[in-house]
Amino acid sequence: ARYTDPRTNLRYANIEVFKRIRSLPNEYVQRYLALRNAAVVLK
């Protein structure tokens, strides 16, 4: 993926995916990052 969301550090390829990432609850993002061993605390 070309881009990285600065808030979650998740990578995305286009604006549609970015919107989807931003719409996810923080709990889901935290679980996904934990699976990748890239867990961060979101504010």
Q: Provide the whole-model pTM.
A: 0.64
Of 41, 13, 14, which is closest to residue 27 (Cα–Cα)? 41
What is the pLDDT at residue 13?
96
- Give the integer Cα–Cα distance in Å for 28 and 42: 11
- Give the integer Cα–Cα distance in Å for 21 and 40: 15
**Going residue by residue through the chain (43 aa), what tens digit of pLDDT does each one get?**
799 999 888 899 999 999 999 999 989 988 888 888 876 666 6
- CB under 8 Å to 8, separation ≥6 — which residues? 21, 29, 33, 40, 42
What is the pLDDT at residue 20?
94
Task: Give the C-alpha distances (Å, rounded to integers) separating 13 from 10, 16, 27.
Answer: 10, 8, 22
